[in-house]
Structure 1
Amino acid sequence: MFEILRNHIEKIVPLTDQEFEFVSSLFRAKSYKKNQFIFQEGESLSRHYFVCGGLLKLVYTDVDAREHIVGFAMEDWWESDFEAFYTQQKTSMSLICLENTDVLYITLENYKELCKTLPQIEHFFLEKAYFGFIAAQKRILSTLTSNTKERYQQLIEIHPSLVQRVPKSQLAAYLGVSRETLSRLTI
């Protein structure tokens, strides 16, 4: 799993073997089963997760117990309740495995130590944050300006493998429509 992390980091910044040894010493590996929660709403959270294998969904449950999928995370993606992670508040969302999943995680304390010790890793995380913000803005704009069919088509174009791995009911929750509405689309 650590080689996957190294390859991921080195897409943005190079690392010597010694530097990566330090990086890997600050991460821990963990495996989860399908349908298992990595964390649940209302918990304390001190971990940032890198997905080595498997598929996750980040979920917000509203006061009417409706599930809203904030995002999915598959191999080579990072996921967390970022507000809870960085501010050390209780989570407002839950992270659930849609498949058996292997992750590497880093604590906030180790994250800060890593960024302080290796400035290129701070740059790496900054680049990842930029891409995350861009993706979030595109999703918001798509929600505001596109109809359901257009949003579904964009999802297929951007993440074709995700569409193959996620049930339509989950995709509908992600797109903010009913399963029936998504089923009526002909693409």
Structure 2
Amino acid sequence: MVHPLRKHIESISKLTDEEFEHVLTHFTPVKYKKHTQLVREGDLVKQEYFVLKGCLRSYITDSTGKDFTYSFAAETWWVTEREAFTKHQPATTTVECLEDCELLALTHENRMKLGRDLWKYEHYVAEKTNLGYIALQKRLQLMITGSAKERFEQFVAQYPHLYNRVPKTMIASYLGVSRETLSRLYRK
């Protein structure tokens, strides 16, 4: 069976067995229990994570204590607090395990080393970054111009595997609607 990380990288850049083994030596396997916070607001973020198993969410909390979910991460997705990881500054968000998780952790130092050592990995990261930016741009456009129904339908179409794994209050937060509105949309 092909390692999930290798399969993910090879969707962009094909690797030899030796190249993949080199990539894998830069990662550390880690396991976290449900409800563990990988990143807390104010933390310095030293790692990004590739999800092998489990589901996580990233969210911000306003001054009244209300949470706003801005992303989820499930199998074969990457998760971290990107700005804090890249700029070496305190996190402004929280990343929490919604299920027990098995992840591959990559330090910033190892991320940079891999990019220098292996152009195929750097190409993969650049392409995934571009695709992530496009997805974020589409999500932002839909949040601005789309109705609650359109946002819900897009979420279910794009992430059908998440709908039954993630608490509905968090999906409602992600979509910018109330839990009650989400219930009405689901019944239609």
- Indicate yes or no: 2:184 matched with 1:184: yes
Which ranges in structure 2 are unaligned for 5 or more consecutive residues?
Answer: none
- Return the offset for 1:119: 0.7
Distance 2:184 2:9 in 1: 41
Q: Secondary structure at the match of 1:174?
A: helix
- Return the offset for 1:2: 8.7
Identity of aligned residues (%): 42
CA spacing shift, 1:86–1:142, aligned 2, 3 Å: same
Partner of 2:31 in structure 1? Answer: 31
Partner of 2:125 in structure 1? Answer: 125
Distance 1:77 1:144 in 2: 25
Partner of 2:12 in structure 1? Answer: 12
Matches for 1:49-60 after TM superposition, within 5 Å: 49-60=49-60
- Indicate yes or no: 2:149 matched with 1:149: yes
8 A Cα contact 1:2 1:24, kept in partner: no
Matches for 1:93-132 after TM superposition, within 5 Å: 93-132=93-132
8 A Cα contact 1:67 1:173, kept in partner: yes
Distance 1:137 1:63 in 2: 26
Partner of 1:140 in structure 2? Answer: 140
- Return the offset for 1:124: 0.1
TM-score of the two chains, using structure 2 as the length reference: 0.96
Partner of 1:69 in structure 2? Answer: 69
Which ranges in structure 1 are unaligned for 5 or more consecutive residues?
Answer: none
Partner of 1:87 in structure 2? Answer: 87
CA spacing shift, 1:91–1:58, aligned 2, 3 Å: same
- Return the offset for 1:155: 0.4
RMSD: 1.3
- Return the offset for 1:172: 0.4
- Return the offset for 1:176: 1.2
Amino acid in the other structure paired with 2:57: K
Q: Secondary structure at the match of 1:57?
A: strand
- Return the offset for 1:21: 1.3
CA spacing shift, 1:79–1:2, aligned 2, 3 Å: farther
8 A Cα contact 2:49 2:104, kept in partner: yes
